[in-house]
Copies of this chain bind each other. A is one copy, B any other.
């Protein structure tokens, strides 16, 4: 009846690549909007980076990015997953989740469009994303609130919100962040707070006093739970 019923496979081309503060999968936010201080740049690739292709995009505050969860492709997809929001104890069908372990490995995030740089190709300056450094992007769309915003949609099992943590910094860690912010302009202190507040620990490791580490830009951040407070122990440039 239609072509696509015969041809099951399609070839998709990468249109751009993300540079992001999230240098590794661990601790990358699980949804966009959770870390407003998150910074990213999307560098468009030829022939998708012609200046006329972004004409009018600057009038929108937010855009959708379709991307590939490139770091899980090698692992393959799953029929069911254990969403972190549910504490890792319950299985949901992969189509009922935003898990990266999905057929075609396609991700969808709305991000804030801060600026568009058009010298030497086109680069979009973004914030509030949940995208890993190096993420390949396959489409960009303006966010249209009249069709995309459904505040009364039923959030289903995801009604159960992520737990939020109180975050405290050792004084040496605060000094490091201030210095780093002066040198680079990157909002490190608020980014660490936002990321840790959303509790990035795997569900299976929430009960012990283990030390964790994450990489934001080139800064290795170590933290540990002390009672119910998340304490940032140190920040070190790599």
Copies of this chain, whole number: 2
Contact with B along A59-72 (1 / 0, CB 8 A): 11110101010100
Report if A170 contacts B (CB, 8 A): no
B-facing residues in A20-66 (Cβ within 8 Å): 31-34, 45, 48, 50, 52-62, 64, 66
Size of interface on A: residues with Cβ below 8 Å to B: 77
> Known contacts A50-B79, A68-B4; is A158 also within 8 Å of B139 by CB?
no
Contact between B9 and A53, CB atoms less than 8 A apart: no
B-facing residues in A89-105 (Cβ within 8 Å): 91-98, 102-104
Contact between B151 and A149, CB atoms less than 8 A apart: yes
Contact between B92 and A56, CB atoms less than 8 A apart: yes
Interface positions of A (Cβ within 8 A of B): 1-5, 7-15, 17, 31-34, 45, 48, 50, 52-62, 64, 66, 68, 70, 79-80, 91-98, 102-104, 106, 108, 110, 134, 136, 138-158, 161
